């Protein structure tokens, strides 16, 4: 029998026990869980508000980002750099960047994101996400005009469990920007259950989330995942042609209005982003929803779920 409040999710790869511990949003509002073909971690926390695996109304995406942004400390010394983790939290991070500039009425809040794409531009740093099917993350050196050396970092991800990925990212960024004074971590869900991961971060660190909880995973013994899919999903890509939608840093929200009038549209709509390109599809869907359309957002994913 499960402890009071603990939910059991039998998956093909194992059994996941989930204990919600409180937050502004409920477990059912924020996420579900799926099996994942990954020997490092055989389950996936599947967000219901990111517009990735589940189709989501853009107004729901906006509300979750706005609520999370409101929990981030307002007294961070500037310049402040918001960093979204690829691929899942790029749109979330970029939306939070937009929200913070509006909520704080500050011009010294900047944005960049990690990527799994090689481009012809100097690299700032590299870090690892150990449990991921695609563990390597790249961050490119921002254009100087786009981003001065930050004094505060806001690290955005969809969820946190052990804190290892966040620590690796913080170590890498502080290594190139030793003038960083404070770090804030914002995630939709925090499964660290009160562990002391933040004390290992190289600068004073606070964290916030829309839901806190605890995960207990019991894997089944299987023959292992499909190796070919793992190799394909985990390798870095290459982009010979590239437009800066965030990989090289942004000082303000990018223009999102369509340059041409859209044709008349009838019936429900689904706007589909691809991989790391998710913020502009979200903003297009948001504009259509504000005009009265029935629209949802979804995106392709590397994740072998």
**Which of the four CATH numbers 3.50.50.60, 3.90.550.10, 3.40.50.2020, 2.60.260.20 does domain 7-299 have?**
3.40.50.2020
Q: Average pLDDT in the 160-168 region?
A: 93
What is the per-residue pLDDT for 302? 78
- Candidate from 49-53, 96-100, 140-144 with smallest mean pLDDT: 140-144
Chain segment 78-95, per-residue pLDDT in tens: 999 999 999 899 999 999
Contact status, residue 25 vs residue 37, Cβ threshold 8 Å: no
Chain segment 38-66, per-residue pLDDT in tens: 777 889 999 999 999 999 999 999 999 99
Quick check: 171 pLDDT over 80? Answer: yes
Q: What's the chain's length in residues?
A: 305
Q: Average pLDDT in the 151-179 region?
A: 95
Tokens 């979804």, located at residue:
298
Nearest to 22 by CA among 191, 151, 197, 213: 213
Quick check: 2 pLDDT over 50? Answer: no
pTM of the model: 0.90
What is the per-residue pLDDT for 61? 98
Q: Report phi then psi at 274, rounded to 5.
A: -125, 120
Q: Report phi then psi at 93, rounded to 5.
A: -65, -40
State the chain's maximal CA–CA distance in angstroms.
59
Q: Average pLDDT in the 11-23 region?
A: 95
The CA-to-CA distance between both ends of the chain, in Å, stands at: 28
- Candidate from 44-53, 125-134, 219-228 with smallest mean pLDDT: 219-228
What is the per-residue pLDDT for 181? 98
User: In 42-163, which ranges are continuous DSSP H helix?
Assistant: 58-69, 90-104
Quick check: 73 pLDDT over 90? Answer: yes
User: In the chain, which ranges are continuous DSSP H helix?
Assistant: 27-30, 58-69, 90-104, 164-176, 227-234, 279-290
Contact status, residue 205 vs residue 155, Cβ threshold 8 Å: no
Q: Average pLDDT in the 236-244 region?
A: 67
Q: Average pLDDT in the 168-176 region?
A: 96
What is the per-residue pLDDT for 195? 83
What is the per-residue pLDDT for 259? 59
What is the per-residue pLDDT for 235? 63
């Amino acid at each position: 029998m499960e402890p009071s409040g603990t939910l059991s999710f039998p998956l093909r790869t194992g059994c996941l026990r989930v204990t919600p511990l409180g937050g502004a949003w409920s477990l059912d509002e924020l996420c579900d869980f799926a099996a994942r073909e990954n020997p490092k971690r055989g389950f996936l926390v599947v967000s219901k508000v990111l517009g990735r695996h589940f189709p989501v109304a853009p107004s729901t995406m906006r509300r979750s980002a706005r609520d999370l942004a409101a929990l981030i400390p307002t007294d961070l010394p500037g310049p402040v750099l918001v960093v979204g983790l690829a691929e899942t939290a790029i749109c979330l991070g970029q939306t939070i960047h937009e929200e913070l500039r509006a909520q704080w009425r500050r011009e010294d809040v900047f944005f960049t994101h990690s990527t799994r794409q090689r481009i012809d531009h100097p690299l700032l740093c590299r870090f690892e996400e150990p449990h991921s099917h695609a563990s390597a993350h790249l961050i490119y050196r921002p254009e100087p005009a786009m981003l001065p050396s930050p004094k505060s970092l806001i690290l955005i991800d969809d969820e946190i469990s052990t804190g290892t990925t966040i620590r690796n990212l913080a170590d890498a960024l502080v290594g190139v920007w030793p003038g960083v004074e404070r770090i804030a971590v914002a995630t939709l869900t925090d499964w660290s259950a009160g562990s002391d991961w933040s004390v290992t971060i190289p600068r004073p660190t606070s964290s916030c989330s829309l839901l806190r909880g605890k995960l207990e995973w019991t894997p089944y013994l299987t023959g292992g995942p499909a190796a070919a899919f793992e190799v394909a999903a985990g390798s870095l890509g290459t982009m010979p042609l590239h437009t800066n939608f965030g990989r090289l840093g942004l000082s303000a929200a990018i223009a999102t209005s369509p340059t041409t009038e859209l044709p008349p549209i009838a019936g429900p709509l689904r706007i589909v982003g691809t991989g790391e390109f998710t913020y502009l599809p979200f903003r297009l869907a948001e504009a259509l929803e504000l005009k009265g359309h029935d629209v949802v957002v979804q995106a392709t994913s590397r994740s072998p779920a």
